[in-house]
Amino acid sequence: MRRVKRPRIYITSERYPVGEQSEPQYDRIRTTYASCVAGAGGTPYVLPSVGTDPDLTQRYLDSADGLLFSGGEDIHPSLYGESVLEKCGPIDEQRDRFEIALLRGALERGMPLLGICRGMQLIAVASGGSLYQDLSYCERADAGHAGAWQQSGAMPSVRLMPGTVLHQIVGEETVPVNCHHHQLIKRLDQDCKVSAVSPDGMIEGIEMAGRPFVLGVHWHPERLAASDLRHLKLFEALIRAASEYSHKAMSRART
């Protein structure tokens, strides 16, 4: 019996301890990312942040069917033309360089990708956008984005913009989410559009126009998918897009 090919989804990791130069240091992800990819029908692989060797980056992309950019530390502000402010958090420049090279290479190939929390911020920055380095630098932002809502037992609902890929995937106008981030998107490049907003008007979801599947969300669907299948739909959509990408890649290889 022939087994159906499960698309290969590469998940970025964070180096821990962040910023430490001495040994030991190791790469890690929350197991919920891999569990959601596997549960949605994909085969998860964890990528270490190993620098920007172009050959290695291309080999990763050659073997991947889709990418999942995970959460973690802050992106260096120099990547969006700013200096580091006082309330910016821990930074891993090696991870920044590796992931931006990976993301831009994936975009060149038309590979599907999903960004979660920091991953959404990476999509915005890599395409020419910028960030508020802390919630306090945006007067309109509710401090609850940093986790206060969940600590109080509340689950704010984000509004999904009609006609967006995200709205089509979830199939509802609003969805309750878990927010845990201290930075926000300040500006988006014209290639990106807003697909979800929080009650205080902050950007909670983005996607790239004209792309089959380049999607970012600021909340953590991997922590909610087991109890709320609306969040699992994001991973299922990634797997479908990765399957289509894989099929097209194999068809091109035969010709």
Q: How far is CA 211 from CA 10, 93, 163, in A?
A: 19, 28, 14
The per-residue pLDDT string of the chain (255 residues; one tens digit each, 9 = 90 and over) reads: 556 789 999 999 998 887 666 666 788 889 999 999 999 999 999 999 887 788 999 999 999 999 999 999 999 999 999 999 999 999 999 999 999 999 999 999 999 999 999 999 999 999 999 999 999 999 999 888 887 666 666 678 999 999 999 999 999 999 999 988 999 999 999 999 999 999 999 999 999 988 889 999 999 999 999 999 999 999 999 999 999 999 887 777 666
- On the 0-12 / 13-18 / 19+ scale of CB atoms within 10 A, 76 is middle
**How far is the C-alpha of 162 from the C-alpha of 196, rounded, in Å?**
9
**How far is the C-alpha of 229 from the C-alpha of 231, rounded, in Å?**
5
How many CB atoms sit inside 10 A of residue 188's CB?
Answer: 18
- Catalytic site residues? 117, 220, 222
Please, which residues bridge with residue 47 across strands? 12
Q: What is the 3-state secondary structure (H, E, C) of the chain?
A: CCCCCCCEEEEECEEECCCCCCCCCEEECCHHHHHHHHHCCCEEEEECCCCCCHHHHHHHHHHCCEEEECCCCECCHHHHCCCCCCCCCCECHHHHHHHHHHHHHHHHHCCCEEEECHHHHHHHHHCCCEEECCHHHCCCCCHHHHCHHHHCCCCCEEEECCCCHHHHHHCCCEEECCCCCCCEEEECCCCEEEEEECCCCCEEEEEECCCCCEEEECCCHHHCCCCCHHHHHHHHHHHHHHHHHHHHHHHHHHC
- According to the model, what pLDDT value does residue 212 have? 85
- On the 0-12 / 13-18 / 19+ scale of CB atoms within 10 A, 20 is exposed
Residues 8-254: name the CATH superfamily: Class I glutamine amidotransferase (GATase) domain (3.40.50.880)
Please, which residues bridge with residue 46 across strands? 11
Q: Find, among 113, 71, 114, the residue nearest to 90 by Cα.
A: 71
How many CB atoms sit inside 10 A of residue 53's CB?
Answer: 11
- According to the model, what pLDDT value does residue 105 have? 95
- According to the model, what pLDDT value does residue 20 have? 60
Boundaries of every domain in the chain: 8-254
Torsion, Cα 120 38 225 9, to 10 degrees, reads 10
